[in-house]
């Protein structure tokens, strides 16, 4: 097993003594555990079988506060019995717990620490193997200011592991691909060159899905508009149709909402923006460009609305019963309501797939206390099933 170690210390620490004690501790642990210990940079800490923060001296608390936002946790603090290492670790652990995060001080005899390290590494490996993995390719788009999610809480509540990936890797994967789309795969006509680019993006995302063993993903899709002069709309639509839940704009709460719908209902969902509300009639227009192809009665391809490039989905959805679900970024609240699709629209000032929905109840939630922008729409009446699932996991319904 590989154990990464990131050292922190006070600026007043006695370098020679601190380095000597640290080297002695790590060498002893390596011999006791037969693990490969490696001093690493902060961005590499959590890439190994286990990551440890080596608290080298008293006064390290301020250094920990600086690096803490860069680490998802849990926070494992490796200490020894000199230089006030343990005292600083206790203060840090108290800070961690007060913020509602998880951590542990690893201190004592070498045999004890070694057994705890191996046990924690085995636990992490088991969690990775058992938890479905959902990729976050890039961060949430800048305008999604209410969409930050605690990754550890997502794992605790929904049993999924959120995995950060980069737009740079997606772009590199795309550029290494040579793909020509078979137009017979689709019912719609479109510019072959643009369709090829969009399909190539789909293939690049699919390669990352396979490489990282993902069950779903969200992508900060606007970041590829400039470099590729195309969009991910078609790729996300196809992936959703194949039960790889795929959200756009890096929206993690939308991704988790999709995941819940698929887990509970074995159904696919449409991620959409509320665009217009008539409070008296309880009517809402929803629109977006990534409708799963298998949710369409029929479809045609158009450009992506905001950029007017790429391949967006102009889908016709069937009229009738639907359920709207949204899980908030705190992962403690959700909105769930039933209604009906009245008809499809074809406005030029909205995203390409457009539906007018009438809700069973009033629309005050959207105007007074929404849990964000994107909501997920699934065919059928499923409020009870979805609400029961979420309340059993400690979430509260908002209306």
Q: In this structure, are 174 and 86 located in the same domain?
A: no
The DSSP code for 139 is P
The domain boundary residue, chosen from 94, 129, 164: 129
- Residues 213, 361, single domain; the answer is yes
pLDDT in the model for residue 141? 66
In the chain the beta strands, taken as DSSP E runs, fall at 2-8, 36-39, 50-55, 75-78, 103-106, 133-137, 161-165, 214-219, 245-248, 270-278, 283-288, 298-302, 312-316, 320-327, 333-344, 353-359, 375-379, 396-397
Closest CA to 320 of 356, 353, 277: 356
Contacts of residue 53, Cβ cutoff 8 Å, sequence gap at least 6: 5, 6, 7, 8, 45, 64, 67, 71, 75, 76, 77, 78
Q: Are 264 and 382 contained in the same domain?
A: yes
Q: Where does a domain end: 94, 111, 129?
A: 129
Q: Are residues 107 and 189 in the same domain?
A: no
Predicted TM-score (pTM) of this structure: 0.69
- The total number of structural domains in the chain stands at 2
- Helices 192-211 and 167-175, packing angle to 10 deg: 120
- Do 242 and 390 fall into the same domain? yes
Claim to verify: residue 352 and residue 212 sit in the same structural domain: yes
98 and 152 in a single domain? The answer is no
Query: Are residues 286 and 142 part of one domain?
Result: yes
**CB distance 72 to 47 below 8 Å:** no
Domain boundary among 129, 152, 179: 129
Q: What is the reported pLDDT for 32?
A: 93
Residues 125 and 147 in one domain: no
Q: What is the pLDDT of residue 15?
A: 60
Distance between CA atoms of 221 and 136, rounded to whole angstroms?
Answer: 11
Does residue 73 share a domain with residue 163?
Answer: no
Of 374, 357, 153, 386, the C-alpha closest to 266 is 386
Residue 396 backbone dihedrals phi, psi, to 5 degrees: -110, 135
Does residue 61 sit in the same domain as residue 210? no
Residue 90: the pLDDT is 95
10-residue mean pLDDT profile of the chain (399 residues): values are 91 66 90 93 88 91 90 90 89 90 92 94 74 88 67 90 93 88 75 90 95 94 90 94 94 96 96 95 95 94 84 94 96 97 92 94 94 95 97 94
pLDDT of residue 147: 61
By C-alpha distance, which of 279, 192, 299 is closest to 237? 299
Dist CA 27 CA 388 (whole Å): 52
User: 309 lies in which domain range?
Assistant: 133-397
**Could you tell me if 111 and 239 lie in one domain?**
no
């Amino acid at each position: 097993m590989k154990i990464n170690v990131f050292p922190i210390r006070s600026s007043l620490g006695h370098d020679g003594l601190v380095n000597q004690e640290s080297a002695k501790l790590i060498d002893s642990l390596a011999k006791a555990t037969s693990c490969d210990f490696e001093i690493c940079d902060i961005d590499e800490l959590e890439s190994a079988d286990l990551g440890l923060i080596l608290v080298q001296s008293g006064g390290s608390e301020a250094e920990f506060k600086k690096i803490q936002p860069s680490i998802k946790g849990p926070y494992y603090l490796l200490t020894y019995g000199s230089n006030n290492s343990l005292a600083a670790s206790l203060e840090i652990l108290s800070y961690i717990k007060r913020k509602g995060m998880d951590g542990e001080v690893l201190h004592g005899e070498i045999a004890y620490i070694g057994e705890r390290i191996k046990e924690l590494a085995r636990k992490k490996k088991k969690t990775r193997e058992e938890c479905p993995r959902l990729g976050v390719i890039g961060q949430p788009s800048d305008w999604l200011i209410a969409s930050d999610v605690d990754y550890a809480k997502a794992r605790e509540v929904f049993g999924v592991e959120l995995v950060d990936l980069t737009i740079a890797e997606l772009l590199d994967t795309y550029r290494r691909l040579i793909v020509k789309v078979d137009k017979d795969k689709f019912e719609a006509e479109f510019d072959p060159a643009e369709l090829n680019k969009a399909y190539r993006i789909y293939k690049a995302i699919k390669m990352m899905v396979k490489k990282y063993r993902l069950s779903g993903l969200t992508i900060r899709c606007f970041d590829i508009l400039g470099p590729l002069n195309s969009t991910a709309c078609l790729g996300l639509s196809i992936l959703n149709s194949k039960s790889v839940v795929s959200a756009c704009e890096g929206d993690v709460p939308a991704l988790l909402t999709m995941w819940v719908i698929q887990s509970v209902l074995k159904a696919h969902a449409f991620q959409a923006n509320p665009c217009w509300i008539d409070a008296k009639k309880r009517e809402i227009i929803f629109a977006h460009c990534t409708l799963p192809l298998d949710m369409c009665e029929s479809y045609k391809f158009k450009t992506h609305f905001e950029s007017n490039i790429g391949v967006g989905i102009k889908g016709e959805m069937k009229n009738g019963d639907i359920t709207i679900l949204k899980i908030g970024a705190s992962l403690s609240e959700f909105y769930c309501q039933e209604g009906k699709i009245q008809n499809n629209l074809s406005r030029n000032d909205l995203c390409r797939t457009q539906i007018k929905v009438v809700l069973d109840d009033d629309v005050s939630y959207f105007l007074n206390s929404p849990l964000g922008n994107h909501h997920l729409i699934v065919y059928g009446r499923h409020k009870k099933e979805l609400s029961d699932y979420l309340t059993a996991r400690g979430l509260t319904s908002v209306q």
